């Protein structure tokens, strides 16, 4: 009698080796192509785990780029890939293609505090709660995104440099503009506003990410702390 063969399923693997847990802990970039595909198709078959089946797909057709031109029939020709998995793979390939076209679109360029304020005003002017956001910019002052950092009054305990610059680093920002609203509608900076801004400017210098300005949004009006000479 030959030796018994035992294979781990994904659920039986150590937590740090499971694709989902790896992504949560280390980010999507830490996963291989096969592991990413495995998260899409979710389950394998009786003989192959989802990761192994995903690797079979990549090996059989020559890598990820093949998903762009393979037909449903070609995908379902792989043992263990039924119609549902084939459709999921084609959907992911099409989303990737569309994201690629978006990357070539012209980005918003922030040339002045007014440019940033006009982007923020529609969202922030009517809020009844104070929120703090970032305007993340690349090296050409093109807008990357505007993430929400916190809700509540602007104090050092709420707006911590760690949270601010974590977002900037994660998105490869070269510079940031700080922004928050005053529900009163009057964008006059408070002492806390100034203290938090100065703290973040110092932290940015250490990290190497410029804090270009802090914009306070009121009801249809705004103040640039840089233009006012406050910072």
Query: Strand locations in the chain, DSSP E?
Result: 131-137, 143-145, 148-151, 175-181, 210-217, 222-224
Decide if 125 contacts 217 (C-beta within 8 A). yes
Alpha-carbon distance 17 to 122, whole Å? 44
**Average pLDDT of the chain to the nearest whole number:** 83
Pick the most confident of 74-83, 103-112, 146-155, 189-198. Answer: 189-198
Question: Would you say residue 225 has pLDDT above 50?
Answer: yes
Quick one: pLDDT band at residue 202, thresholds 50, 70, 90?
very high
Query: What average pLDDT does this structure show over 150-154?
Result: 71
Question: Would you say residue 91 has pLDDT above 80?
Answer: yes
pLDDT tens-place string over residues 11-32: 555 555 677 888 887 778 788 8
Query: What average pLDDT does this structure show over 64-72?
Result: 76
Question: Would you say residue 72 has pLDDT above 90?
Answer: no
Least confident range from 73-82, 101-110, 197-206: namely 101-110
Sign of CA dihedral 38, 40, 42, 45: negative
Question: Would you say residue 43 has pLDDT above 90?
Answer: no
Per DSSP bridges, beta strands 131-137 and 175-181 are antiparallel
Chain centre to alpha carbon of residue 40 = 19
Alpha-carbon distance 43 to 50, whole Å? 5
pLDDT tens-place string over residues 104-146: 556 789 999 999 999 999 888 888 889 999 999 999 999 999 9
Chain centre to alpha carbon of residue 216 = 25
For the stretch 197-200, contacts whose Cβ atoms lie closer than 8 Å and that sit 24 or more positions apart, written own/partner, are 197/225, 197/230, 197/231, 198/231, 199/156, 199/161, 200/159, 200/161, 200/164
pLDDT of 2 reads 43
pLDDT of 58 reads 83
Question: Would you say residue 224 has pLDDT above 90?
Answer: yes
What percent of the chain lies above the pLDDT cut of 90? 36
Please give the residue that has the higher pLDDT: either 5 or 159. 159
- CA distances (Å), 151 to each of 71, 148, 157, 194, in order? 48, 8, 12, 17
* Global confidence as pTM: 0.55
């Amino acid at each position: 009698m030959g030796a018994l063969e035992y294979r781990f399923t994904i659920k039986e693997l150590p937590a740090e080796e499971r694709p989902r847990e790896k992504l949560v802990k280390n980010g999507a970039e830490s996963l291989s192509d096969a592991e990413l595909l495995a998260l899409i198709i979710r389950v394998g078959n009786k003989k192959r785990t989802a990761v192994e089946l995903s690797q079979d797909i990549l090996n059989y057709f020559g890598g990820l780029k093949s998903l762009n031109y393979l037909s449903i029939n070609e995908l379902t020709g792989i043992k263990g890939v039924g119609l549902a998995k084939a459709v999921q793979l084609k959907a992911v390939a099409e989303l990737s293609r569309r994201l690629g076209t978006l990357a070539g679109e012209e980005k918003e360029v922030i040339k002045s505090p007014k440019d940033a304020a006009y982007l923020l005003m529609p969202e922030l002017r009517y809020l009844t709660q104070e929120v703090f956001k970032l305007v993340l910019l690349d090296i050409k002052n093109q807008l990357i995104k505007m993430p929400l950092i916190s809700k509540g009054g602007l104090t050092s305990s709420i707006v911590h440099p760690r949270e601010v610059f974590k977002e900037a680093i994660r998105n490869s920002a070269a510079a940031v503009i700080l922004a928050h609203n005053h529900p009163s509608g009057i964008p006059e900076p408070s002492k806390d506003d100034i203290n938090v801004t100065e703290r973040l400017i110092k932290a940015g210098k250490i990290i190497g990410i410029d804090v270009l300005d802090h914009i306070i949004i009121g009801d249809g009006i705004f103040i640039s702390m840089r233009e006012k000479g406050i910072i």
